[in-house]
Chains A and B, each alone.
Chain A
Amino acid sequence: MPRKLSLLILLMFIAVAIAPVAAQDEEFVFGMILVGPRDDNGWSQAHFEGGQYVEETVPGAKMVYFEKLNPADAPETTLLDVVTEMVDQGATVIFTTSDEFEEDTAGAAAAFPDVTFINVSGDDAYTGEAAPNLSNVMGEMEWAKMIAGCAAALATETGSISYLGPLINFETRRLVASAYLGARYCYENYAGKDPAELTFTVTWIGFWFNIPGVTLDPTEVTNDFFDNGADVVISGIDTTEGIVVAGQRAAEGQSVWAVPYDFAGACEQAPEICLGVPYFHWGPVYQNIVSEIQAGTWEQTWDWIGPDWMDINNPDTSAVGFIEGTGLSEEDKTSLDAFIAEMTAYATDEANADTFFLWEGPLSYQDGTEIAAEGEKLPAVAPLGEAPSVWYLEQLLDGITGASS
């Protein structure tokens, strides 16, 4: 009996000790899982800073993160292990910021039905495969890639633009195609040159970042671009090799330029030859999701979010933007601004809902298959196999040199 009593007293002590912690616990913990390092000047850093934005703008919000979750960097752990630890730290919403996490996120969502999962760039919520506590979100990078292509076409002196591609899938194909459409349009309409003389080449390195001995080396590929007559490189990979090599070449006295990718600060690698950077700004997107969850109004969605057309670089509202680089000449900057204004007019016209600027017929695949007839607009997304769409682009467009599959 005394033993039971002492146990009871002990339990009471523990309860008293825990209670205040629980009472003052008004912080809102969210998890951020990154595939690369949080300071990669690219894809992962953009997400990490999106998380920091939420911490700054949402009272009580606290981020727990895990960087470099991939079989090579963290072979000892899996997404489910990391999610378990984050839930243990109090996380109620977890952002899994890579399409690599798509399948594992589905598994984690099933294992933790009370936690909300946001998988970036997947399509499970669109195809209906997702558990009810799982959403997808992606930015409409296509717009910013068109601006990137336009900037490249304005700057090129040799008429040859190269695209440093990661691996080949729907997303990467449509981004390359967007850059190409922007380039072709500006080469003709702003630079006043013949678009038939524009060379637009993509080389796929085989993965999102360099894996020595496995992928093509992006440094070597970029050097090859410049050796073969290109003078602008547009990067589509997670890391910064494209602009770094262009910076080195420029330091040697060559007239070359680069358009990096993903992260707003990427131009800093070589500002003098940077034409600008198409980037994701996840902060407002994530803030919105966190606020909805806090308010209890969150619902499962598949979101493909465009820029804020009032100001595509507004850090508090725009999910996607393009920061013009200092490598752009005054004249080209004026042209580029005019192009962005044209694009904005298109995008803000109700009649053009669910389509993209420049994605208008005649458009055909590399093998000649027509996907949009003269004057016809390609839909932004349509179920795969039923109709061609930008989201599910099955080949590169006619006019681009490089592999479609």
Chain B
Amino acid sequence: MRTRSMVFGLTILPILASLLITAVLIMLVGADPRAVFEKVWEGAFRDLRSFSQVINFWIPLTLVSMGLIVTFTAGLWNIGVEGQMGMGAVFATWGALTLQLPPLILIPVEILLAMLGGGLWAALVGILKTRLKVHEIFGGVALNALANIASIYLISGPWQPAEGGSVRATPPFPADALLPPMSPDFGVSLLALVIVGVVIVSVIVALRGTRWGLQLKATGKNARSALLLGVPTGRSAMSAFIVCGMVAGIAGGYRVLFTYGSLRPLVSGGIGFLGLLVVLLVSIRALWVPLVTFIFAAILGGSTRLKVALQLDASLAGVLQGFLVLAVLFSNGLRERWRETNPAHLSETDIKTPESLKADR
């Protein structure tokens, strides 16, 4: 019982601490922290319209985070997730701009294309890693840049509208190519929500209850031992990349097929990197992902109103978010240290060794 309240405290405290630090900062720049938090709250939850903005950011963020749960479980730093989103967006854009199909077929095809784009881009990172021994961080960074260059090239070249135009985006997609919103007031795609739900459940189930999930965990904990114990670690890593890439591809597709309705440069917008942060924050516990991404989406989405209404510096929400991350990491560190000095509290489930995984099987 004492342990549980301790753990709970260590989860809630950092949130309170970061709110407090941000409040002090806000007062230092001469603003009223209550007004700031009020505006963020209103900006996120005032009405259906503002809430839909939150959900529209939550969807891609949750998707990439769930994808990253898979790669992190396999012990892989999939920095390339941004590029995988970007390529998902590019592939979906190709479908939206060129295919002439009835919406009932076109939209699923676009989503499959997005998965293909993200999956392919992730597979490249995987091949570099497993075949050529290029660390996934380097491969990922390079492929992120390539994905951005490719999308800017396509926007300013082949997909430029006939009349020239701004070259800041492709022409808007035809209405049939876009995901329909649930209602004019609640501009959220039902299909996307369903996909997010399916992805969350599938990732949790796959990691907990399948041989594949166990192999990923074994690879992640200790690839060498896992290999010696007969786990095909190369194949596990490859499959983790591809699954993550496909999910990130959907997120990228969502950005173009719903959020913007056209392809724009840097359409992934750092959401992939934010996803990395989320997964580190929740210590790779999949169940926590939807909640934490929701908090992030609410703070960031709500900050639009903050900026417009109070004209505070645009990065304030980022500061709050940064403190939140620092505080959680700090408390995670404290928790680790507390556990180390109190080994009696170590439970079986806390530490999984390849051996215990094997026993699980």
Contact = CB atoms under 8 A, between A and B. Distances in A.
Interface of A: 31, 64-68, 70-78, 81-82, 84-86, 88-89, 98-100, 102-104, 107, 121-122, 127, 167-170, 206-208, 211, 213-215, 384, 392
B311 A77 contact: no
Contacts of B156: 167-168, 206
A122 B166 CA distance: 8
Contacts of B164: 169-170, 384, 392
Contact of B308 (A89, A100, A170): A89
Interface residues of B, number: 44
A211 B266 contact: yes
A121 B270 CA distance: 28
Interface stretch (B212-220, B295-303, B348-356): B295-303
Interface string B41-63: 00100000110010001000000
Given A76-B57, A89-B309, A103-B262, A68 B314 contact: yes
Contacts of A84: 49-50
A183 B307 CA distance: 44
B54 to A, nearest CB: 8
A77 B314 contact: no
Top 10 A-B residue pairs of the complex, sorted by shortest distance between their CB atoms? A75-B269, A100-B168, A99-B166, A76-B300, A213-B145, A72-B266, A85-B308, A76-B57, A71-B269, A214-B148
Contacts of B269: 71-72, 74-75
Given A78-B260, A85-B304, A214 B152 contact: yes
Nearest to B164: A170
B309 A384 contact: no
Nearest to B142: A213
A167 B301 CA distance: 31
Contacts of B129: none
B145 A64 contact: no
B166 A214 contact: no
Contacts of B260: 71, 78, 104
Contacts of B168: 98-100, 208
A72 B144 CA distance: 14
A94 B259 CA distance: 21
B266 A102 contact: no
A81 B167 CA distance: 23
B75 interface: no
Contacts of A100: 166, 168-169, 264
A215 to B, nearest CB: 8
Nearest to A84: B49
11 contacts: A64-B309, A66-B307, A66-B314, A73-B314, A75-B57, A76-B53, A103-B172, A167-B167, A214-B145, A214-B148, A214-B152
A207 B153 CA distance: 10
Contacts of A168: 156, 167
Given A78-B259, A85-B304, A214-B152, A71 B166 contact: no
Contact of A214 (B265, B268, B270): B265
Contact of A77 (B152, B265, B304): B304
Contacts of A98: 168
Given A71-B265, A76-B57, A86 B167 contact: no
B252 to A, nearest CB: 11
B181 to A, nearest CB: 11
B267 interface: yes
B20 to A, nearest CB: 24
B360 interface: no
Nearest to A122: B166
Contacts of A74: 269, 304, 314
A76 B308 contact: no
B301 A77 contact: yes
Q: Considering residues B53, B163, B164, which has the most beta carbons from chain A within 10 angstroms of its beta carbon? A: B164
B166 A82 contact: no
B353 to A, nearest CB: 39
Given A64-B311, A71-B267, A211 B148 contact: yes
A70 B269 CA distance: 9
Contacts of A86: 308
A64 B308 contact: yes
A208 B260 CA distance: 20
Given A74-B314, A89-B308, A213-B148, 7 more contacts: A71-B255, A71-B264, A75-B57, A82-B304, A85-B43, A100-B264, A211-B266
Nearest to B309: A89
A206 B148 CA distance: 12
A98 B264 CA distance: 14
A85 B40 CA distance: 12
A64 B39 CA distance: 15
Nearest to B46: A88
Contact of A384 (B43, B163, B166, B314): B163
A222 to B, nearest CB: 21
A211 B269 CA distance: 12
A88 B53 CA distance: 15
Contacts of A215: 152
Given A68-B314, A76-B300, A76-B304, A85 B309 contact: yes
